[in-house]
Structure 1
Amino acid sequence: MIRTLFLAAGLVFAAFGAVQAADVEKPDLTLGVGGKPLLYYLPLTLAERLGYFKDEGLNVEINDFGGGAKSLQALIGGSVDAVTGAYEHTIRMQQKKQDIRAVIDLGRYPGIVLAVRKAEADKFKTVADLKGANIGVTAPGSSTHILVQYAFAKNGLKQDDASFIGVGGGASAVAAMQKGEIDAISHLDPVISKLQDLDLINVLIDTRTTQGTEDLFGGMNPAAVLYFKESFIKDNPKTVQALTNAFYRTLKWLETATPEQVAATVPEEYWLGDKALYIKAFNASRQSYSTDGTIDEASMKSALNLLTTADPAFDTSSIDLAKTFDGSFLAKAKAQ
């Protein structure tokens, strides 16, 4: 009898999934990301590994690029349908007449750390000392790069006062510091925690925490979001809703999950060879994740200020912040 009930339940679930798959306009879609193993993008990996995409009738192929700027380029070029990437890209692309909109916030703080090589700590004591340095970032133009530009502007330096080197999103970034190829690094966990564990770096800026984010920006600053071309949202509203549902469900899971549950859910290779270190890295970044998925007006303005400070030539005349975030799908996800 019990076996029969389980079989019946399985058939009902399978039928439900089939109905959803038939309901969405594009059940098979491609999502771009720049550095999937990074804790910055943890909600994406969790949504995938927990089966939440499949629960929504979606078959999501994830393309992992060398940095957020590259995943954005893939969206503009049409090789991916959606991106989990930095919110500021939605603002920057408005200036370029590209209508890109976020539908859910995954990270309320950037989670980015700027640190210097410990062996050269006497030379690089402050951000202002980084003039002429070789600084590793995930990829030029990505959020890790933009944050350093912002810090440079606040400390009287120009954008080209240092050399920025793309070091990728995982073990390659650690290796670049170990080999002495860079003097400083702007990166995320678990890379930062790994470098700290190896006693290779001194931290100058830490936006993994509330305090560190407020110290740099004077308030909150949204980070990773799920974004699309506005045309895709218009043509595929049920697909966008399904993805939003999956990510909101993930945020709620993450809000109460233990560090051990998180580590057990992600692929082992994300641990960089050390599960205890990954747990430590997650704990260091935990405050950075959004709990409700929304982006308020103050956070939008903070993100715009990041761009205008990093690039004084940035033209804000064509920017309409209200069009960078469509909260209607999130509202429906919350109501379910």
Structure 2
Amino acid sequence: MTGPREEIMQTRRSFSKQTLATAVLAAGSILPARVLAAPAVKTVRLADQPGAEVDYAAVWIAEGLGYFEEEGIKIDRRSYANGPAAMLDFPNQSIDAVMAAIVPFMQFAARGGEFKLIMSLTKYNAPLVGPKKYTSYKELDGKRVGSPGIGTVHDAVLGYVEETQQIRLQHVFAKITDFAVMIEKGEIEAFIGWEPASATTIALNPALHYVAQLPPIPDMESLGLVFQPKIAKDDPDLIVRFVRATLRGVDFIKANSKEKTAELVAKKMNDAKAQPVVVNALGSVKLTDPRLDMPSTRILLKVIAKQGKIPPDLVADVDGWIGKYLDYSFLDRAEASLKKT
């Protein structure tokens, strides 16, 4: 038989155990919620070019499938006429990141610009479009050929062709969206461009075709992703999350047919009927290698040095020069995190 004092002590012990159990259960219900909470949504002001949805398919597919949303990222798309135009705005911090070609990036660097080169997005991406009577660059010797800008990778390809095939082309600079009309008016004989703008032009004019769907440089480096150095310093995790979502888009492209990839890209274009055009355009690009192809990069930068677009001394050591801007640490972290899942 227990006395009053013992009953009080038992009651206290029972109450303490119940309180502790309740606290543990409460903590158990709260802590997982904190661990699983999505990161605060951040907007990335991302520059690209019009009619380039195929070129950046990995990014737009990742957006369409919700991968950026899962990473707490919202993309604010800002389209510029070409890569050089976007890089002109880059120093004033009005955009956070740019998707464009290695050539305008490095021309920007040659003028003293600063950026973090994060990854490659696209190889090739320089189809030559013209009337079906033309089947090679050489047949266009002396002709007027449309170029989407003096600072673009496409104009560098024309320079490479002139140098290696010993021909001379008349470079006619205009917006890529104007080339279809310019061909019809006879203002140019052909044009070099990106995708799906080039494939769309062919679909609208049966007299046209790919004179050369791929550039004459093996595995040619084309488009990449750069971020503001301030973001790389102050919020590196944002870049890792952006890259991780993009890599999931790359994995989708690897795992699925061109038709399925084209279906999602056509949705980004707000034109479901564009799927066959996108399938055709996918033959102009390689979208699954996130690291730069250095042999072709060396070729392109030496070409633009010969064209007088950058000082020749900068290409004496192309790898060393690019190494000042290229930072694979974000890509490495994103790849490692995906392997754990």
Deviations 1:307-331 (CA, angstroms, capped at 9, x unpaired) = 2224414435345122232111111
- 2:254: which partner in 1? 255
Shift of 1:73: 1.6
- 1:71: which partner in 2? 86
- Counterpart residue type for residue 187 of structure 1: G
Shift of 1:173: 3.8
- 5 Å matches for 1:1-336? 16-17=37-38, 20-21=39-40, 27-35=42-50, 37-107=52-122, 109-118=123-132, 121=133, 126-127=137-138, 129-133=140-144, 135-157=145-167, 162-169=170-177, 172-197=178-203, 198-207=205-214, 213=215, 216-217=216-217, 219-268=218-267, 270=269, 274-285=273-284, 288-291=286-289, 293-295=290-292, 299-312=293-306, 313=308, 314-318=310-314, 320-336=321-337
Shift of 1:142: 2.1
- Residues 270 and 262 of structure 1, relative CA distance in 2, 3 Å threshold: same
Deviations 1:187-239 (CA, angstroms, capped at 9, x unpaired) = 133333344443333544332xxxxx5xx22x322221111233432232122
Shift of 1:82: 0.4
Shift of 1:84: 0.9
Distance 2:201 2:34 in 1: 45
Distance 1:35 1:139 in 2: 14
- Counterpart residue type for residue 32 of structure 1: A
8 Å CA contact retained: 2:147, 2:171: no
RMSD of aligned alpha carbons: 3.1
Which stretch shifts more, 311-320 or 37-46? 311-320
- Residues 271 and 140 of structure 1, relative CA distance in 2, 3 Å threshold: farther
- Counterpart residue type for residue 142 of structure 2: K
The structure number with the bigger radius of gyration is 2
- Residues 311 and 272 of structure 1, relative CA distance in 2, 3 Å threshold: farther
Q: Structure 2: where are the runs of 5+ without partners? A: 1-28
Distance 2:260 2:298 in 1: 35
- Residues 90 and 269 of structure 1, relative CA distance in 2, 3 Å threshold: closer
Distance 2:165 2:266 in 1: 39
- Residues 255 and 12 of structure 1, relative CA distance in 2, 3 Å threshold: farther
Query: SS in structure 1 opposite 2:161?
Result: helix
Distance 1:101 1:157 in 2: 37
Deviations 1:47-74 (CA, angstroms, capped at 9, x unpaired) = 2222222211112201011112212222
Q: Structure 1: where are the runs of 5+ without partners? A: 1-7, 208-212
8 Å CA contact retained: 2:199, 2:280: yes
Query: SS in structure 2 opposite 1:35?
Result: coil
Tell me the matched-pair count: 299
- Residues 275 and 229 of structure 1, relative CA distance in 2, 3 Å threshold: closer
Query: SS in structure 2 opposite 1:91?
Result: helix
Query: SS in structure 2 opposite 1:329?
Result: helix
Distance 1:191 1:241 in 2: 30
Distance 1:55 1:16 in 2: 10
Percent identity reads 17
- Residues 13 and 231 of structure 1, relative CA distance in 2, 3 Å threshold: closer
- Counterpart residue type for residue 48 of structure 2: V
TM-score scaled to structure 2, two decimals? 0.76
- Counterpart residue type for residue 330 of structure 2: F
Shift of 1:260: 3.2
Which stretch shifts more, 198-207 or 37-46? 198-207
Which stretch shifts more, 192-201 or 98-107? 192-201
- Residues 202 and 45 of structure 1, relative CA distance in 2, 3 Å threshold: same
Query: SS in structure 2 opposite 1:103?
Result: strand
- 1:5: which partner in 2? none
- Counterpart residue type for residue 95 of structure 1: A
Distance 2:137 2:51 in 1: 30
- Counterpart residue type for residue 37 of structure 2: F
- 1:210: which partner in 2? none
